[in-house]
Structure 1
Amino acid sequence: MLFQGVLTKMKSEFSEPIQYFLNLENDFINLNQLLNKKIGLSFVKYQCLNCGNDREIYRQGFCKSCFFEVPQAADWIMKPELSTAHLDKEDRDLEYEKRMQLQPHIVYLANSSNIKVGVTRKSQVPTRWIDQGAHEAIEIVEVPNRYLAGVTEVALKEHISDKTNWRKMLTNNAVDEDLKKYRSELSQFIPEETKQYFIDENEETHLHFPVEQYPDKVKSLSLKKTPEYSGVLKGIKGQYLIFEDSTVFNIRANEGLVVDISVG
């Protein structure tokens, strides 16, 4: 079988185990069904996710000019504390920013390589945790907008990491932790303006990924540097495909690349 399309973030479905899908222009592939099969990946060209032109991808699936123009790549995406829609103040596109920022957001703890604090829209739970490869997670605070989530995260990350070690996540070396205990200990550091939104009654969410073999030492594949690769698919975790020879391929980091995908 041969498929072709521009890579975008894998879709996922929270189940036992998590189901992964690749949405191409003319095909919708259930990647779980490709486990233990030989997969070939070939770079064809670039296709910016905004303008659609064959320009080298700069970041997040966008060419350089689009990256610095589109609201989907603005600084508040990575730094929620920079959100300004609640002040009716535009960054790049106020209508888009109001739609994204002025909705319920969750501040959470997730355990992938280590325990980290993060922010996501409530509608993205548990998708955000799946994308990070977290095997357990728990909500700390639910606030009405992105700005309040951001200032809460800024306060908490003085006491706990906000980064994931992706190599450790992919070798599955993380140990189970008592996230309710961590949440209780961190509650004292929640800013005054968001203390009223603290959550303390819910349980951990546990996530199980479709992985049959974890790599001992990961080798990262970049199709820009190695335009052709083939290997036996042994697992999917976060936004990574894991192959039998310990090669891992980050779909998210290769958004905007048009690829040929062969199976079998």
Structure 2
Amino acid sequence: MNYEGLLTKMQTENGSPIQYYLVFDNDFLNVNQLLNKLVTINFLNYQCLNCGLQKKIYRQGFCYDCFFKIPQAADWIISPEKSKAHLGIEERDLAYEEKVQLQPHVVYLANSSSVKVGVTRRSQIPTRWIDQGAHEAIEIVEVPNRYLAGITEVALKSFVSDKTNWRAMLKNDIKDEDLVAWRNKLKQYIPVEAAEYYLENNTEINLEFPVLTYPEKPKSLNLEKNPFFEGTLKGIKGQYLLFEDNTVFNVRGNEGAVVRITVN
């Protein structure tokens, strides 16, 4: 069976285990159903997620020109503390920035490879944790805008990492942590502006990924260097497909690639 289309990050549905879907213009694929099957990935070309032109992808699925123009790729996306919509200040498109920034945001702890702090919109819980491959997570504060979440993250990452070791995450080289204890320990470092939004009584959430076997030495598939790949799918974690030969494919990291996927 063949599926062809533009790669965007896998859509997910929380469950036991999490369900993953590749969504194309005219079709979709439940990736969980491919476990233990031989899968072929053919790289065809690139297509910018914004302008739709067949141009080389620069970052985040966008071509060079779009990346430096559209609000979806502005600095505040990666660095929420740079958000300015709450002040009525435009960076690229104030209407878009107000829509995204001026809504409830959560600062959280997630355990993917080790405990890390992060920021996401309230509406993206637990999707954000799933995308990061976190097997457990907990919310610390829920604030009314992205700026407050950003300055809280900046304050807390002096005491806890804000990065994920993707190799450790994919090898499942992790240990369980008491995230309630971590949350309580970090409370004292929350900025004054966000202190009233601290979440006192919530509990950690656990997530189950559809993985049969984990790779011992993950090696990343580069579609430009290897436009044809074939392997048996053994798991899905974060936004990665895990294959029997230790190859791992980051779907989100390849947004903007047009591919043909064949299932045997």
Task: Give 1:114 shift.
Answer: 0.4
Aligned residue type for 2:220: S
> Equivalent residue for 2:248?
248
The corresponding residue for 1:167 is 167
- Specify the code of the residue in structure 1 equivalent to 2:88: D
The CA deviation string for residues 163-208 of structure 1, in whole angstroms up to 9 with x for no partner, is 0000000000110000000000000000011100000101100000
Partner of 2:42: 42
Query: Which ranges in structure 2 are unaligned for 5 or more consecutive residues?
Result: none
Cα deviation for residue 8 of structure 1 reads 0.1
Instruction: Find the residue that maps to 1:96 and give its secondary structure.
Output: helix
Q: 1:225, CA displacement in angstroms?
A: 1.3
What is the identity percentage for the equivalent residue pairs of Structure 1 and Structure 2? 65
Q: Root-mean-square deviation (CA), in Å?
A: 0.4
**Secondary structure of 1:120's aligned partner:** strand
Per-residue deviation at 1:224?
1.3
Q: Does 1:76 align with 2:40?
A: no
Question: Deviation digits for residues 90-145 of structure 1, max 9, x if unmatched?
Answer: 11111110000000000000000000000000000000000000000000000000
Q: For residue 20 of structure 1, what is the aligned residue in structure 2? A: 20
Q: Report the Cα offset of residue 222 of structure 1.
A: 1.0
Letter in 1 for 2:16: E
Shift of 1:237: 0.3
2:58 and 2:66 mapped to 1: Cα distance? 9
Which residue of the partner structure matches residue 216 of structure 1?
A: 216
| Partner secondary structure for residue 142 of structure 2 | strand
TM-superposed CA distance for 1:146, in Å, is 0.1
Q: TM-score, normalised by structure 1?
A: 0.99
Within 2, Cα distance between the matches of 1:171 and 1:244?
12
Q: Which residue of 1 aligns with 2:6?
A: 6
Map 1:27-106; keep pairs closer than 5 Å.
27-106=27-106
> In structure 1, what is the Cα distance between the partners aligned to 2:67 and 2:58?
7
Corresponding residue pairs, total: 264
Residue matched to 2:137: 137
Any idea what the Cα deviations from partners look like across 1:225-262, whole Å, max 9, x if unmatched?
A: 11000100000000000000010000011000000100
Q: Which consecutive unaligned segments of at least 5 residues does structure 1 have?
A: none
Partner of 1:224, secondary structure, is: coil
Task: After the TM superposition, list the runs of 4 or more consecutive aligned residues in structure 1 that deviate by more than 4 angstroms.
Answer: none
SS of structure 2 residue aligned to 1:133: coil
Whichever residue aligns with residue 154 of structure 1, its letter is V
Amino acid paired to 2:130: I
Q: What is the rounded CA distance, in whole Å, between the counterparts of 1:29 and 1:9 in structure 2? A: 13
